[in-house]
Every structure is written in structure tokens, then in C-alpha cells.
Amino acid sequence: MSFVKKILIIGTIVLIVVLGISYGIVKKMNISDRTTEETGGKQTVKKEEKSDKEKAEEYVEKMKPKIKEHLKEEDIHNFIKKITFEDKVEINPMGRIIVNGYINDNPDKFYFSADLIYDSNKVDGMSYPEDVGNRFTDWSEYTKKEKEEYIKTAYPDKKEREQYLRDIGELK
């Protein structure tokens, strides 16, 4: 047998061994991502790990009380009577978890969005429309004239203005 043929045979054997080892490692990694769970008798069911979406949904459930607490801290006029969360949970391209909801059964006017980072255990961001922010405004920092002018501008409709004043506890 020529020297070149021996080299080719040895190279082929080494390649087959390397491929076999690689296949075994990949197969082992795929199996270790799953656990098995006995369901009774001889039957075994493979249990997949939770998806990112499932983990995010569980995290949101854990964080709902903190989101409520965050909103209540902003609510210096005790405007909030009820907080409702939407079922849909989003994971944005940056990996942040977004949960939406609304206040006092008014999803059109008093909605909010909470921004969470998985396992930070805090509300990392909160956004809401101007109408909600106005109800959190501490008017003690402004003159009576500034307050009246702003409210008239923000709520030109008399009914809306009166509702706003009721919401902040200044009109019964």
C-alpha cells in the first residue's frame, strides 16, 4: 500500500471518529435540555423547558402587585379605584417585558404600560397618557392662577373639567 493511501485511510478514520464524537456531544446536549417526568406505570413524558414567553408571563404575574404599588405611589389624589391588566404580555426587541393595563375601567382614556426587565424585581419604566399624569399632579407647587389656566386649557369642555376636579378630590 502506498504512503498516500495510508494517509488517506488514517485521515478518513480520524474524520469519522471526530464526527462520531461531535454527534454524541450534540445529542447529549439536546437530551440534557429536557427532563423526564414519571406519569405512573411505565409511561414517561418528556417535559420541555419553559419558553421565554411563558417565563415572561410568570414574571408579570409576580410583578403585578409592584406595578399597582408604583401607580398608587403616583396617585396623590386617590383617583385610582381599580387597576386592570390586559392578558397579552409582550417582549420587545430589547428583551424588555411590556405589560399593559388601564385604570378605573376606562381602557380608552386611562391606560398605562409597564416596562420590566426579567428578574430585576422592580418596575423599570411606566408610561401613561397626559390625562393620567394630570391626575397625579401635585398642584401645591403651582399658583392658583397657573392651576386654573392649565386646567381650563387641558379640559376646555366643562363636563371634562368638572370630572377632572372630582377625580382629584376638589369637587364633590
Tell me if 129 is assigned to some domain. yes
- Domain shared by 120 and 71, yes or no: yes
**Which residue is it, cell 409576580?**
62
Tell me if 147 is assigned to some domain. no
- Domain shared by 90 and 24, yes or no: no
Say yes or no to pLDDT of 155 above 80: yes
- Domain shared by 57 and 16, yes or no: no
Determine the average pLDDT of the residues in 132-153.
95
Tell me if 168 is assigned to some domain. no
Determine the average pLDDT of the residues in 15-35.
59
- Domain shared by 15 and 77, yes or no: no
- Domain shared by 59 and 131, yes or no: yes
Which 3-state string (H, E, C) describes 93-159? Answer: CCCCEEEEEEECCCCCCCEEEEEECCCCCCEEEEECCHHHHHHCCCHHHCCHHHHHHHHHHHCCCHH
- Domain shared by 26 and 62, yes or no: no
pLDDT in the model for residue 41? 57
Tell me if 13 is assigned to some domain. yes
More confidently predicted of 30 and 146: 146
Tell me if 152 is assigned to some domain. no
CATH of the domain at 117: 3.10.450.130
- Domain shared by 79 and 5, yes or no: no
- Domain shared by 18 and 86, yes or no: no
pLDDT in the model for residue 9? 76
98-137 residue pLDDT tens: 999 999 999 999 999 999 999 999 999 999 999 999 999 9
Task: Please give the residue range of the domain that contains residue 3.
Answer: 1-32
Tell me if 151 is assigned to some domain. no
Beta bridge partners of 37: 45
29-68 residue pLDDT tens: 555 444 445 555 555 555 567 888 999 999 999 999 999 9
Q: Name which of 86, 118, 123 is nearest 103 in CA terms.
A: 86
- Domain shared by 64 and 113, yes or no: yes
- Domain shared by 100 and 67, yes or no: yes
Collapsing DSSP to helix, strand or coil, 78 comes out as: coil
Report the mean per-residue pLDDT for the chain: 85
pTM: 0.69
Q: How many domains does the chain have?
A: 2
Tell me if 97 is assigned to some domain. yes
pLDDT in the model for residue 12? 73
- Domain shared by 58 and 16, yes or no: no
- Lowest average pLDDT, out of 17-26, 32-41, 83-92, 147-156, goes to 32-41
Percent of the residues in the chain that have a pLDDT greater than 90, as a whole number: 68
Percent of the residues in the chain that have a pLDDT greater than 70, as a whole number: 76
Tell me if 169 is assigned to some domain. no
